[in-house]
Amino acid sequence: MNATRETVYNWVTRIDRRTLAILIGLTLGVVGGGLALLIATIGPLFTTAGVLGLLIGVYILTDIRAALYGIVAIMALLPFGTLPFSIGFTPTLIDMMVGAFLLIYLLQWMTGQRKAFRITPVHIPLALYILWILAAFALGLRYAEPTTQIIRQFAELMLTFLLVYVLVDLLRDPQTLRRLVLVMIVCVGTQALIAVALWVLPNGTAERILRAMARIGYPESNIIRFIEQNPALSERAIGTWVDPNTLGGTLAITAAMIAPQVFARRPVLRYRWLTLGVLGVVGLALLLSFSRTSMLALGVAMGVIAFMRYRRFIPLMIGVGLLILLLPQTQGYVERFIDAFQGEDLATQMRLGEYNDSLELIREYPVFGIGFTGSPRIDVYSSVANLYLLIANQIGLVGLALYAITMLGVLIYGLRAWRYAKDDDALESIHLGYHAAVVAALVNGIGDFYYFRIDYQGSILLFWLTVSLALASSRLALENGNKQLS
């Protein structure tokens, strides 16, 4: 290293001062001209963001943990963000972060920094599920030619599955898992604050702010959302997730991760009041999204947390539930739930219609579904607001069965590990939180589809990231338990 530095120093000192000045001037001119061009074409805000992003990207390439935290941050705050220019296609910001993360991971293997690849038993049915998806995609090409966009989105889905293997191998210590909870608290807490702030602002102001993000792939119109798309009804919080239901699902999953921290023996945040404050803001943003399925999902997840660890709080939860049912301030929300169960509101009626069409499609294409590229007939469409029906539509009942086996495996593996994790101060709260978040996502799938539809990259990434963290925490708990027994 010293010899290299001396060589560079000798080379620089031999250069004539005039030549060196010219080289420096040219460099500054090129950089300045490039920045001026960017400012003129994409504006000063995005130019500054681009320069900062470049600097952050250089740093991320030196630290795999920074790359992982970057994935979480982009997913939580800019899930639909893209580069402001095309390189033949327009990569998403998530693509860039995931690509950097996988590159660093691969380099670590190539340089001998990583050894003994680790997986869990659940990765076997997951591999079968992935292979079935590939087969369904290939067979679906009979019905329609894939567009460039579909090919890119399907490739992103495959990369997300790859992350499940990489993350479980990478996350080998409780401290990293605990830091990821902290990163989720910070990032999703920030998203919740943004969502509440935009909801409070006048619609025109909020729309102008969000329209400015069109440069990086966000929509330019129909931004502000209302219940049943009716401006006469309540506005729904969307944050930077564009859709109130995707925001609601994200908040429900994260709230399930955060909740055990409030009573943990060794919480991730030193100050419990701060954890409780973030949970409150996330809960408020979830309420303002008016996503009924997400609220139900969080309720079920909280019930799981209480049953598994904090049974003394079950009467308190029942009391809170009764208050929600009886308070005048919550009657509007309660009525919307009643309408949903009775099928009286417009949104529920539309979903019931979709369910009937979906069942017809499954009867026609029960084994492989219709794939991802298009429908075999003009009167057949696969989009349906139910995760499980959508899976059956696109990859068939066999694919749905493989998905169910994989998810059941995640929960059974976690239950086996719980007998060790519950006595480990470092793992207890995060293990319970990660698995409660998986439960929240699975319940959320009853009324929404975005954990499987390939144009919702951020939601798919969030789901499989949660599954990866649950598997990693279970593997660590079992390894620690086996060490104690031996």
Residue 1 has pLDDT above 50, yes or no: no
75 with 461: CB under 8 angstroms?
A: yes
Residue 275 has pLDDT above 50, yes or no: yes
DSSP 259-309: GGGGS-SS-SSS-HHHHHHHHHHHHHHHHHHT-HHHHHHHHHHHHHHHHHT
At 485 the pLDDT is 64
At 21 the pLDDT is 59
At 281 the pLDDT is 96
Chain-wide mean pLDDT for the chain? 85
Residue 351 has pLDDT above 90, yes or no: no
Residue 35 has pLDDT above 90, yes or no: no
Distance, in Å, from the CA atom of 153 to the CA atom of 157, rounded to the nearest integer, reads: 6
**pLDDT grade, residue 482 (50/70/90)?**
confident
Q: Which of 235, 241, 244, 240 minimizes the C-alpha distance to 204? A: 235
Residue 334 has pLDDT above 90, yes or no: no
- Long-range contacts of the stretch 332-340 (C-beta < 8 A, 24+): 332/234, 333/287, 333/290, 336/227, 336/290, 336/292, 337/292, 340/292
Give the highest mean pLDDT range of 39-48, 57-66, 146-155: 146-155
At 330 the pLDDT is 67
At 56 the pLDDT is 56
Residue 141 has pLDDT above 80, yes or no: yes
Distance, in Å, from the CA atom of 105 to the CA atom of 95, rounded to the nearest integer, reads: 15
At 54 the pLDDT is 53
pTM for the full model?
0.86
Residues in the chain: 486
Per DSSP, helices labelled H in 375-456 are 387-421, 428-444
**pLDDT grade, residue 248 (50/70/90)?**
very high
Per-residue pLDDT tens for 186-242?
Answer: 999 999 999 999 999 999 999 999 998 988 889 888 899 998 888 888 899 999 998
Per-residue pLDDT tens for 411-432?
Answer: 999 999 999 999 888 899 999 9
**pLDDT grade, residue 356 (50/70/90)?**
confident
What's the distance, Cα to Cα, between the start and end of the chain in Å? 46
At 124 the pLDDT is 96
**pLDDT grade, residue 477 (50/70/90)?**
very high
At 57 the pLDDT is 53
At 270 the pLDDT is 83
At 473 the pLDDT is 95
